């Protein structure tokens, strides 16, 4: 069992390293949803957080957590992997997100 987990981790590391290199302007995140800031639900959420919708470029990631290449727990993303320029909202939202393909 440990051998399979180690092998999976070793196979995932180069893929995540490649994705990390594509994300040079922000952080690599795993978000449950990625939407336009103009989406009514997203714009309401942003308003509650005091974020001005007109200032946002790119997509908005919702319920995000960082993807790291260290450790087995942070090496997978079953939702949408994205590169975000601003994730200073404790994972509630991430701003300036661009989808990243980590399934090379």
Per-residue model confidence as pLDDT tens digits over 28-47:
889 999 999 889 999 899 99
Name which residue leads in pLDDT, 71 or 64: 64
Q: Which pLDDT score, from 0 to 100, does residue 100 have?
A: 86
The number of angstroms, rounded, from the C-alpha of 29 to the middle of its chain's C-alpha atoms is: 2
Q: Say which residue, 72 or 43, is predicted with more confidence.
A: 43
Do the strands 80-86 and 59-66 form a parallel or antiparallel pair, or are they unpaired?
unpaired
Please tell me which residue, 73 or 66, carries the higher pLDDT value.
Answer: 66
């Amino acid at each position: 069992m440990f051998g399979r987990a180690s092998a999976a981790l070793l196979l995932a590391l180069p893929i995540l390293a490649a994705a990390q290199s594509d994300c040079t302007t922000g952080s690599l995140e795993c978000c449950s949803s990625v939407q336009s800031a103009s989406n009514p639900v997203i714009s309401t959420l942003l308003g509650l957080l005091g974020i001005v919708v007109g200032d946002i470029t790119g997509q908005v990631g919702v319920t995000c957590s960082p993807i790291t290449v260290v450790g087995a727990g942070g090496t997978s993303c079953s939702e949408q992997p994205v590169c975000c320029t601003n994730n200073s909202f404790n994972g509630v939202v991430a701003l300036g997100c661009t989808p990243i393909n980590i399934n090379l």
